């Protein structure tokens, strides 16, 4: 009998991609860590997918379309697909964050509207 769930342990690595490990079908999720003073080595955007970032630990900043956005633990940020983005850890602090990537305008139901109470 097949399980209706997948579970993994995410190791404390620079980047952990959960798509294949959890057999995701509707989202791409990664957990990312940058040591203090480091940055993602490229600017990027997307064709169809928005990204949601949750800052788990530390502090840093994002540069989005030329705007600097300070980030700290507890902050959440949504970025539209076409926005050009890059992330940085602070000079005095590492940063650890989760990135959830989903297709823009694909959410048809959520929370109670998508739940079946049994």
DSSP letter for each residue of 34-100:
E-TT-B-SS-B--SSEEEEEEEEEEEEEEEETTEEEEEETT-EEEE-TT--EEEEEBTTB-EEEEEE
Summarize pLDDT for 62-77 with one digit per residue, the tens. Answer: 999 999 999 999 999 9
Structural domains in the chain, sorted by start: 15-96 (2.60.120.10)
pTM higher than 0.85 for the full model? yes
Summarize pLDDT for 1-54 with one digit per residue, the tens. Answer: 468 898 988 888 888 889 988 999 989 999 999 999 999 999 999 999 999 999
């Amino acid at each position: 009998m097949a399980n209706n769930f997948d579970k993994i342990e995410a190791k404390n690595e620079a980047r952990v991609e959960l798509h294949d490990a959890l057999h995701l079908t509707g989202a791409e999720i990664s957990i990312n860590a940058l040591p203090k003073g480091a940055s993602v080595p490229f600017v990027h955007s997307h064709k169809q997918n928005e990204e949601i970032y949750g800052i788990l630990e530390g502090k840093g900043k994002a540069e989005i379309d030329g705007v600097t956005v300070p980030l700290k633990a507890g902050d959440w940020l949504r970025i539209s697909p076409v926005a050009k983005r890059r992330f940085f850890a602070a000079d005095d602090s590492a940063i650890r964050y989760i990135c959830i990537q989903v297709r823009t305008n694909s959410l048809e139901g959520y929370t109670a509207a998508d739940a079946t109470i049994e």
